[in-house]
Amino acid sequence: MIDPKEKALSYHSKSPAGKLEIRPTKPCETPEDLSLAYTPGVAEPCLRIARRPEDADSTRSAEFGGCGDQRHGRARLGNIGALAAKPVMEGKAVLFKRFADIDAVDIEIDSEDPTM
């Protein structure tokens, strides 16, 4: 009989590492796909959410929370807030997956405090 501790260690160390994998839900192969997923295509969903927060669920994925970037939504789009910046962060996660096979999820922090 296998020791339960060894069984647990074996389970967690099997390849591939970890228990989750992130997959893009949209094509991310061509330059056009990537420009829609990140820049410049991500601006329109962000701006729509900033204007109409109730549209957030139609333009972004369900609640996920990891790209280690604090985003206040200030870059080129202005201070649009964490909710509206979510498509940008999802786009960054897509780039991590597509070019480095790194599974990343986004976390937006709804705060004006840059020290958080």
Which range of 54-58, 74-78, 90-94 scores highest in mean pLDDT? It is 90-94
pTM, 2 dp? 0.74
Average of per-residue pLDDT across 21-35: 91
Question: Picking from 43-52, 65-74, 85-94, 98-107, which range would have the lowest pLDDT averaged per residue?
Answer: 65-74
Q: What are phi and psi of 53, to 5 degrees?
A: -55, -25
The reply to whether 7 belongs to the active site is: no
The pLDDT assigned to 67 comes to 47
Whole-angstrom distance, CA of residue 73 vs CA of residue 27:
25
**pLDDT given for residue 75 in this prediction:** 58
Sequence ranges of the domains in the chain = 27-116
Q: Would the pLDDT of 40 be above 80? A: yes
Give the separation between CA 14 and CA 20, rounded to whole angstroms. 13
Report which residue type is found at 27.
Answer: P
Q: If you ran DSSP here, which 8-state letter would residue 14 be given?
A: S
pLDDT of residue 1: 78
So what's the pLDDT on residue 86? 87
The catalytically annotated residue of 11, 38, 86, 97 is 38
User: Is 38 a residue of the active site?
Assistant: yes
Q: Which of 11, 19, 86, 92 is catalytic?
A: 92
pLDDT at residue 71, as a whole number: 46
pLDDT at 31 over 90: yes
